[in-house]
Structure formats: C-alpha cells, structure tokens
Amino acid sequence: MGYTLIECVIVVLIVSVLTLLERRSRSLLLAQSELDRIRAQSIRDYDRPFVAASIPVGGGYLCSASDDQDPSLRTIAVSVGLARRWPGPQ
C-alpha cells in the first residue's frame, strides 16, 4: 500500500518546520554563548570594543557582534546564523 500525495506533502512540511525550529534554537544558544563570552570579557576590559564579523562558532554557524561604544551604557548586538557555504567540518 502506497502513500497519497497529501501524506507526502504533510511529511515534507513537518520535516521542514522541525528543521527550521532546530536551526533557530541552535542559533539562539550560540548567540547566548557569545553574549556570555562578551560579558566575561567586559568585566576584565570594559573599554575594549566588541566587534566580530562572520566568526565561526561551530557546526557551520557564523556569529557577528557589534556595540555602540557608548562609554556609560553599551548596547551589544549579536547575530548568529547558519552559513550557506561553509568549508569547515559539519
């Protein structure tokens, strides 16, 4: 007994949604890890700027970070995403 077209479409949709959720969750965890690293670094050297562009953070994900360098209260922006073409180990 075979599968209907509707059943196949539903399976593809479910797998796509699960893959997207896994990638977003992984990105969030990696971004939080980068923020923790920046927080620890700021305790030692607050005046050092926090700038990083396309730094590999594992599993084909890249991280970018920047701050506004305000001397009294700094705003840090961190973004993490899966690289489309990553030459490193997956």
**Does residue 89 fall inside a structural domain?**
no
**Does residue 44 fall inside a structural domain?**
yes
Domain count along the chain: 1
Provide DSSP, 31-66: HHHHHHHHHHHHHH-TTS---EEEEEEETTEEEEEE
**Does residue 90 fall inside a structural domain?**
no
Helix (H) or strand (E) holding 11: helix 5-44
What is the domain extent for residue 20?
5-82
Give 65-76 pLDDT, tens digit per residue.
888 877 778 888
pTM of full prediction above 0.75: no
**Does residue 75 fall inside a structural domain?**
yes
Q: What pLDDT, on a 0 to 100 scale, did the predictor assign at position 87?
A: 56
60: tokens are: 């084909």
Give 28-58 pLDDT, tens digit per residue.
998 898 888 888 888 888 777 788 788 888 7
**Does residue 88 fall inside a structural domain?**
no
Query: CA 24 to CA 71: how far, in whole Å?
Result: 32
18-to-45, 62, 64 alpha-carbon distances in Å: 40, 21, 25
